[in-house]
Amino acid sequence: MSCHVRRSALAGKCKNKIMQSTQVHVEIEKELSAANGLSVNDGTPQRRSPVLVIVIAAVLGFVGGGLYFVNHPTYNAARKSFHQLYYNTRGTTWSSTYWLGVPAEKTPQDMWVYQEILHETRPDVLIEAGTADGGSAYYFATMFDLMGRGRVITIDIADSPKRPRHNRITYVRGSSTAPETVAKVKSLIAPGESVMVSLDSDHSKAHVAEELKIYSDMVASGCYLVVEDTNVNGHPVFPEFGPGPMEALQDFLSVDHRYEIDHSREKFGLTFFPDGWLRRVR
Ligand SMILES: C[S@@+](CC[C@H](N)C(=O)[O-])C[C@H]1O[C@@H](n2cnc3c(N)ncnc32)[C@H](O)[C@@H]1O
């Protein structure tokens, strides 16, 4: 046999062996895969196990749903995040809010809601506990100017040189719960005048509870008693504050049924007074 013929015969034998071994390999793979519930692609179309398809679909759905949720937070989660962002960046937000140049420590949304309430309920007097620089008192007085009626009595233990003069504002110096301060405030209100109240002084639970006891009697039926800064102590900001306006308010409402929370006043999505817009109904 010539070298050439022997080489061809050998090559033929090898090819046969390789094909046999590939066939055996595929068969082994098939058996192993069948044992593991998998399919082997040997060129012929394969059917996947329905259980496997369901598992893959469930995993993809779970991952896809999770990604959607992370990128599209719920309305309440977005509200809470924005509230915390707004509160915690006070230097450019609520500590940097002015009415006609005077600092007013409120959100524009809450100020707008006050304006709507003043217009709707038309109180003769608005008592504000906690004046600070007087921006909010000035804002209320300006609204009363536009309405052609109403005045503001605002109370604070401290003075501020920034306070504006306005013929509709009366400043009262003293603690909002001190008997002499309360007597002074009452002396400034004529019988039959309708009163609205805004509590924004010392935000400790004990102080707000005392204010609620005193001033809730003065509010006219249909008018509002606004308990400000119910958002502290984790509602949803300043969690380390301790019991504050929200806790005082909850105790008050559990025993005093003359007031209802008006949640419609929280319509803008951001209010520093969650549950704090109280309307006297009895
Ligand atoms: C949050 S600031 C008031 C902000 C103001 N209402 C505004 O919207 O711009 C609280 C004020 O309450 C005053 N305050 C603290 N304790 C008080 C008390 N027992 N009686 C009255 N005012 C008090 C503080 O001096 C401070 O000026």
Q: Where are the domains of the chain?
A: 24-72, 90-280
Distance CA 63, CA 56 (A): 11
Q: Which residue has the tokens 């006609």?
A: 100
Q: How far, in Å, from the CA of 98 to the mean position of ligand 1?
A: 17
- Of 141, 111, 116, 112, nearest in space to 126 by CA: 141
What are 52-109's pLDDT values in tens digits? 889 999 999 888 878 777 777 798 999 999 999 999 999 999 999 999 999 999 999 9
pLDDT value at residue 67: 79
Q: Which residues, 6 or more positions from 3, have their beta carbon under 8 angstroms from its beta carbon?
A: none
Q: Would you say 76 and 69 are in contact if contact means Cβ atoms under 8 Å apart? A: no
- Say what the pTM is: 0.80
User: Ligand 1: which of 98, 115, 157, 175 to mutate, most ligand atoms within 8 Å of CB?
Assistant: 157
Q: How far, in Å, from the CA of 258 to the mean position of ligand 1?
A: 26
Whether domain 90-280 has CATH 1.10.357.10: no
Instruction: State the amino acid at position 116 in one-letter form.
Output: E
- Of 132, 66, 129, 57, nearest in space to 94 by CA: 132
User: Ligand 1: which of 90, 172, 201 to mutate, most ligand atoms within 8 Å of CB?
Assistant: 201
Q: Would you say 212 and 246 are in contact if contact means Cβ atoms under 8 Å apart? A: no
Q: How far, in Å, from the CA of 31 to the mean position of ligand 1?
A: 82
Please work out whether the CB of residue 200 comes within 6 Å of at least one atom of ligand 1: yes
Parallel/antiparallel/unpaired status of strands 277-280 and 259-261:
antiparallel
Please work out whether the CB of residue 152 comes within 6 Å of at least one atom of ligand 1: no
Cis geometry, peptide bond prior to residue 236 (ω within 30 degrees of 0): yes
Residue 211 clears pLDDT 70, i.e. is over it: yes
Distance CA 282, CA 279 (A): 9
What are 140-198's pLDDT values in tens digits? 999 999 999 999 999 999 999 999 999 999 999 999 999 999 999 999 999 999 999 99
Q: How far, in Å, from the CA of 175 to the mean position of ligand 1?
A: 9
